[in-house]
Amino acid sequence: MIGVRSAIVALSVLGLTASAGAHPRRPDAAASVPAIVASPAFKSAMSAFEREHDRVVADTITLTEIEAPPFKETRRAQAYLAMLKAHGLTDVEMDDIGNVMGIRRGTGPAGGKLVVIAAHLDTVFPEGTNVKVRREGTKLHAPGIGDDTYSLAVLLGYLRALDAAKIRTERDILFVGNVGEEGPGDLRGMRYFFGQGKYRDRVHAFFSMDGTEASRVTHGAVGSRRYRVTFKGPGGHSYGAFGIVNPMQAMAKAVVDFGAVQVPAKPRTTYAASVVGGGTSVNSIPDAIWLEVDMRSESRDELAKLDAKFLQIVKDAAEFENRQRSTRLGRITVEPKLIGDRPAGQTPESAEIVRATAAAVKAAGYTPQLGASSTDSNVPISLAIPAVTIGSGGSGARAHSVDEWIDVAKPEAVKGAAVGLASILAMAGVAR
């Protein structure tokens, strides 16, 4: 109840009632969830979703087997664009950054506020990764299948379900397959969408569907700072120049010291030394080694503290190596380059979208798990646009590893998928 009261405050502060003039004042979205879920139309939609379950699975496999490494999402994007078109959306297009999208028109006037539901096209896996889906009963194994390809297919399932149940919404719903969610992409799909995209001023509510867990209501944006650090030295013959400083040693010292840093469990703060490379040949002292690291926190302050520690560590590691070995041919230098910077922040727990999504989770029979993560929602959250990240339903594990898998056993998958559909309908408003 307190939640509701503070939500009203939040709504006026954020100007979320801007389109209210075009419609009679809507009931609170969270309050509308039980009625939506109980309605014959919603039940009919979910029955259609269930009937079409095999097609969701088939679309998942099709899309998973089209590689989509960071910055190379185009082929998958084009396939998804064709699917969006085939599902009867209007204004289907690929924007300048590579996001594909289309509108399911509501009953309200064209050009009004809309609800966005997005799943990301990209995976973390480089070109040449084996993306062939291996099926074991209801378990599907493939890199990227749960993060986030299954979500793309679920969104298409929603479209068929809404059409089958003849559900119209008041607001338009924009269905998006976006680029650049994963690491190196640094949210470029959503940065473009909210920075220059044509819908940037029309977003009433933003949902990112990312991963499977249906009970998750990710309203916190975990911030991240990512670096590519290059350690340089003179290099030389491994035998002839033995004794000179080696940038490999400086890199290693930095990783060891970084690995000893203690971070709080609450607010959750993490780090990883993730990618490394460099060296001329096995019989050469390298002249350059680079290292990529990821640091994250729910808290802006903790992230800033960790960031400062890391920068000090790499600097100290270079100096350590300059004392350890000879600098007669040159010194170790270190150049940290910021390659990722995601804002931390929160859609308040009291916000309508958070309460509505939590209500949808409960209505589906789960206990809402409110939390924080680093997803496409970071961008709208940092702009104070109401946003949450939700799960697709089903289950899965081992995201970002080649052992990634999902379980698409029908009962659980359909039960979980109801969360997203109910949340979207609540925020878009079901037309009478």
Residues forming contacts to its own copies in the complex (CB under 8 A) are 70, 124-126, 182-184, 222, 224, 226, 228, 234-243, 246, 248-249, 251-256, 259, 268, 270-287, 289, 292-294, 296, 324, 339-340, 373-374, 398-402
> CA-to-CA distance for 6 and 126, rounded, in angstroms?
45
Closer CB to its own copies, 23 or 228, in the complex:
228
Smallest distance from its own copies to CB 410, Å: 26
CB of 309 to its own copies, least distance (A): 16
CB 426 within 8 A of CB 165: no
The neighbour count for residue 201, using CB atoms within 10 Å, is 9
Closest separation in Å from C-beta 4 to its own copies: 32
**387-424 as b/e, with b when 16 or more CB fall inside 10 Å?**
bbbbbbbbbbeebeeeebbbbbeeebbbbbbbbbbbbb
User: Measured from the CB of residue 220, what is the shortest distance to its own copies in angstroms?
Assistant: 12
Residue 82 has a CB neighbour count (10 Å cut-off) of 12
> Based on CB atoms, which residue is closest to its own copies, 51 or 328?
328
For the CB of residue 243, give the shortest distance to its own copies in the complex, in Å: 8
Q: Measured from the CB of residue 31, what is the shortest distance to its own copies in angstroms? A: 33
Which pair of tokens denotes residue 248?
């490999």
Contact status, residue 53 vs residue 414, Cβ threshold 8 Å: yes
Q: How far is the CB of 313 from its own copies (least distance, A)?
A: 12
* Smallest separation (angstroms) from its own copies to the CB of 65: 19
> How is residue 175 written in tokens?
């269905």
Closest to its own copies by CB, 158 vs 227, is: 227
As a whole number of angstroms, the distance between CA 3 and CA 354 comes to 10
Which residue type is seen at 179?
A: V
3-state secondary structure 221-247: ECEEEEEEEEEECCCEECCCCCCECCH
Nearer to its own copies, 153 or 399 (CB): 399
Q: Calculate the alpha carbon distances from 255 to 103, 252, 297, 332 in Å.
A: 47, 5, 19, 16
The continuous run of DSSP H or E covering 310 comes out as helix 300-324
**How many residues would you count in the chain?**
432
